[in-house]
Chain A
C-alpha cells in the first residue's frame, strides 16, 4: 500500500501536468483532489498504525549494496504525511484561483514542480532507508530551487543563495549518512537508530549528531542559516505557503525527529539544537517586528516558530518530542492559512506593504476572520491549538538541561520570543486590516497601488485558507482526541512508549502563568508599538545576513580563481611534466614503504630479446635528437615495428599483427599531417634539453625498475587460465585473445569502438571549426615542368600495383575477418588490412581529390556502433547484453557452419576501425577537395595550391 501510495504521488505529477496543458490553472483542483485522496488513505490507515505499530514495505533497488526502496508508516510518518498531503491539497486548490488565467504553459511547469515536491516529501517521510531519505531530501532541495528560480528575473539570485545553503546541508547530510552506514553497517533507518554505537561511542555520536543537526538547520532555516527563507519569498505565495511554511522547512524538523532516538541523550546535539533554535526564535521575532512586507513578516515568523520546535527537540525527552510534533502540526495549520491570506490580500489589494494597505477590515471581513483565527493561534491565545502547543513548549524547555539554570535561561529566551510573536501578530492584524501601518508610511507612499474598489475574494479563493485556520480552533478544543496519534509519533521519535497528557486546561501551572504574562506583555508591546518602532527599526548590525552570504560567495569564487591561476599556464610542458614528477614521488614513497618486497624475478630469456632491445635503441635514440620531422616520424615508426616484433616474441600474435598494421597506418597518417607543417622542429635551449633529459632518464630508470620489481612474480592469472581452458567450450572459438575481445569482454570492446568512432567525429569536427594549415610543398613547385612534377605519370606504378593488389587485400581482409575466431585475425586486424588497402588506393591516386577513397565515413562509424549494439541486443534474447548467440547453419554440401553473433559484433568493430582510416584520408589527406577552387590539371603540381578550407567550402563540395 505504501509503495503504491508513493507511486500514486508520482503519478499525480504526470496527471496534473497533462491536465494543466488543457485546462490551465484549474488543474489545481485535480491535483488537490488527488492529494486529498492520498491524505485520506493515510488517515484511514492511521488507527491501525497507532494500535499495531509501524507498517513496512520493501522493493529491492541496489541489492548488491543493500539499498532498497524501504518504506514504513509509523505515527510520526502519519502526522507528517497528513501535513504534506493535506496542506498540499489545500495549496493546490488555492493555486487554482491564485494563478493568473493566462500563461498556461508556465502553469504546467509550476504544477509539475509543486506536485513533484509533494512526491519528494512523501518519499522523504516514508523512507525507511537513510540513502533513500537522502535522495528525497535532495529532491526537495531541487524542487525548491526551481520553484523559486522560475518566478522571474529577480528571483535568480535568491534562488541560487537558497540552493547554496540547502545544497551544503545536503552534502553535510550525505557525509552523516556515509558515516552512519560505514559504522553501523546498515542503511535501514530503524536499525540505524537502534544501533549500539550511539550508546558506546560518545565521540562518534557527537560528530554525527552535529552533522545531522547542521543539515536540518540549513533545511529549516535556523540560525546561522536563517537568511534564505525570507530571501526565498520572491517565489509565488502558494510556493511559500507549501514549501517555506508547511512542508519543506519541516523536512529538517522531520530529520531531527526521526534520528532523535539515536542522539537525544547527546550533549552536543542538545546544545546545538537549543542554542540555534532559541537564537532563531528571538532573531525571527525581532526581524518580524521590523519588516513591513506581510510576506517578509510571515517568513521571519516562520523562522522564529521553527526555532521553538528545534529547541524543543533538543530537550529530547519523550514529552518534549511529543510537544514538538504537536507544535509542528499547529504551525503548519496556522502558517499555511496566514500565507494563503497574504496571497489573497496581495491579489485583492495589489500590495503586501502594511504601510500602504488601508481599509481592508471593512471590505474583507472573511479574510479578517481567517487571519485573526490563524494569527491568534500563532500568538498562543486560548483556546486555539497554538495555545496548547506553546504552553507545552514552555513546559518542556523548563525541564531542559542537567541543571535548573539551563531550563530557566531557555524559558526566558522562549518567553521573550513569544512576546515578540504576540507583538508581530498584532502588527499583522493592525497593519493589514486597519490604517495603522500608514503612520510609518514613507513620505510619498505609493497609494496608487491600492485599487479604487476593494472587494472580498471569491469563496473558492478563501476556503482553502479558512480550512486550516478553523482546524486550529477545532483541534485546540478537541485536543484529547489527538493524544493517541501524538503518542504514537512520540514513541517513533523517541524510542520509548509515551502517553501524552495534552489538555487545553491542566490547572494553575507555571506554564499557564507564563502564558498569561507573555500575552500581557505582548499586548503592552502592541499598545506601545509607535513608541517602540524607532527602537526596533534602529540598525544593530553593519550588514545583513544576505550581504554576508553574498560576500562569502563572491570571495569563494575569487579564491577559486586565484588558486586556479597557479596552474593556468599555456606552456604545455609544465602540465605534461607534472604527472611524471608526481609518479616519481609515488615511486619514492613506494620504495620507502616496501624496501623488502622480495628478490627481483628475472626469467631466463632467449638471445633474441637482447637483439630486440638493441633494435629499439637504434630506432628510438636517434629519433630524440632528429631535427627533421620526417626523420623523426620514420624512426618512431621503426620503433613501432620493433615493438610489434616484441609482441611476436612474447607470444602475442594478434597483438603483434595489430601493432604492425597500426604502425603502418600511423606513419601514413603522420606524413599526411607533416606535409602541412614546417620540415624542421624548433631548436630548443640547451638547459631545457638537460632538464627534460634528466626527467626522462629518471622516468626510464623507474619504469625499468618497476617492470623488474612488479611483474613476473606469478603464474598464469586465474582469469587467463579460465579463458584458456574453457574458451572453446564457451564460445566455439580457438583464438583465445579474439574470444576475449568479442565474447567474454565484448562490452569493453564495444566501448572501445565507440571511442574510435568519437575520435573520428572529433577529427572532422575540429577540422570543420578551425582552418587547417595549408600544405607546405613549395620545392615541388619548382619541379612543375620537369618529369617529377607529373604526378599522374609518377603514380602509375603504384596504381598498377594497387589494381592487382586490391582484390588480394580485400580477400585477405575478409579471410582474416572470418577466421578471427579460430586463428590470428579478427575484426581489428582485418579492418586494419582493409585500411592499408585504402591507403594504397590513396597513394596511387594522381591527386588527392581523385583518390577513390571518398567513403561516407560518418555513416560507417554509425553503422559500426549500431551493428555492434544490435548484436548486443540480440544477446539480450539469450540472457544478457552482448552475450553471443550461437547456432549451426546446415551447409548444402553437408555438415554445418557454427555461426555465432560474435561475428556480427566483430563486423561492427571492423566498420568502426575502417571508418577511422577513411576519415583520416578524407579529412587530412585532402580527398574532400580542400582545394576545390583550384582549376588543377595533372601537369599543375599541388604546390601552388592555396587551400583555405572553411567549413562552407567543404560543405559545398560534399553536397
Chain B
C-alpha cells in the first residue's frame, strides 16, 4: 500500500510540475515521473519477495531480476534525457526560464545586462 501511495504521490507531483511554466519545472516533473514509473516497474515484479537476486537465492523469496534490469537502464537513460531537456532551458531568449519576473516587469534589465557584457567584450578586440 505504501509503495502504491508513493507511486501515486510521485506521479501526481510529476504531472503537476510538468504542467507548470518554464522548462526547469518540467524537467523536475519529468524526474519525478521517472521515479514513479520506475517504482511501478519494480512493483510489477512483485513486492512480497524482497531478497536481492543473486545466484543461489531461493526463487520463493528472490525479487524479480528482470524489472530491475529494465529500471537500471531506464535510470541512466532518464539522466541523459534530463540533461538534454535542461539544456533547452538555458539556450532560450527572454522566456519563462531565462527571464526573471523582475526582468519581465522592468522589461529592460536583461537588455542592459547584455549591453554591459558586450561593452566588456568590445575592448578585448578581435571580433569576427
Contacts and interface: CB of A to CB of B under 8 A. Distances in A.
A881 interface: no
A768 B85 CA distance: 15
Interface in A15-71: none
Contact of B46 (A705, A714, A756, A766): A714
Interface in B63-103: 63-69, 71-73, 75-84, 86-93, 96-103
B27 A723 contact: no
A755 interface: yes
Contact of B45 (A693, A704, A717, A736): A717
Nearest to A576: B18
Contacts of B99: 678
A683 B98 CA distance: 14
A720 B19 CA distance: 37
B28 to A, nearest CB: 5
A650 B39 CA distance: 9
Given A665-B79, A737-B72, A946 B121 contact: yes
Contacts of B43: 707, 711-712
B102 to A, nearest CB: 8
Contact of A707 (B8, B28, B31, B57): B8
Contacts of A947: 117
Contact of A651 (B27, B52, B92): B52
A720 B64 contact: yes
Interface stretch (A331-339, A429-437, A744-752): A744-752
B44 to A, nearest CB: 5
A646 B39 contact: yes
Contact of A745 (B6, B13, B69, B120): B69
A636 B56 CA distance: 37
B68 to A, nearest CB: 5
Given A577-B19, A700-B13, A704-B7, A666 B121 contact: no
B69 A716 contact: no
Interface string A607-645: 001101100110011011000010011001001100100
Contacts of A612: 2, 6
Contacts of B20: 573, 681, 684, 692
A308 interface: no
A662 B76 contact: yes
Interface residues of A, number: 122
Contact of B2 (A609, A651, A681, A692): A609
Interface string A669-707: 110011011111111100000001101110111111111
Contacts of B120: 944, 946
Contacts of B35: 639-640, 643
State which size class the interface on B falls in.
Answer: 35 or more
Interface in A571-627: 572-573, 576-577, 580, 602-605, 609-610, 612-613, 616-617, 620-621, 623-624
Interface of B: 1-13, 15-22, 24-28, 31-32, 35-36, 38-40, 42-57, 59, 62-69, 71-73, 75-84, 86-93, 96-103, 113, 116-118, 120-121, 124, 128
Interface of A: 572-573, 576-577, 580, 602-605, 609-610, 612-613, 616-617, 620-621, 623-624, 629, 632-633, 636, 639-640, 643, 646-647, 649-655, 658-659, 662, 665-666, 669-670, 673-674, 676-684, 692-693, 695-697, 699-708, 710-712, 714-717, 719-721, 723-725, 727-728, 733-737, 740-741, 745, 748-749, 752, 755-756, 759-760, 762-763, 766-767, 770-774, 824, 828, 913, 916, 920, 923-924, 933-935, 944, 946-948, 952
22 contacts: A580-B15, A603-B46, A613-B2, A620-B13, A636-B31, A653-B52, A666-B79, A678-B101, A678-B103, A681-B20, A695-B16, A696-B12, A700-B15, A701-B12, A703-B10, A703-B40, A704-B8, A733-B55, A734-B54, A766-B87, A828-B76, A946-B116
Given A711-B40, A734-B55, 9 more contacts: A632-B28, A653-B52, A670-B24, A707-B43, A708-B4, A724-B62, A748-B73, A749-B73, A933-B124
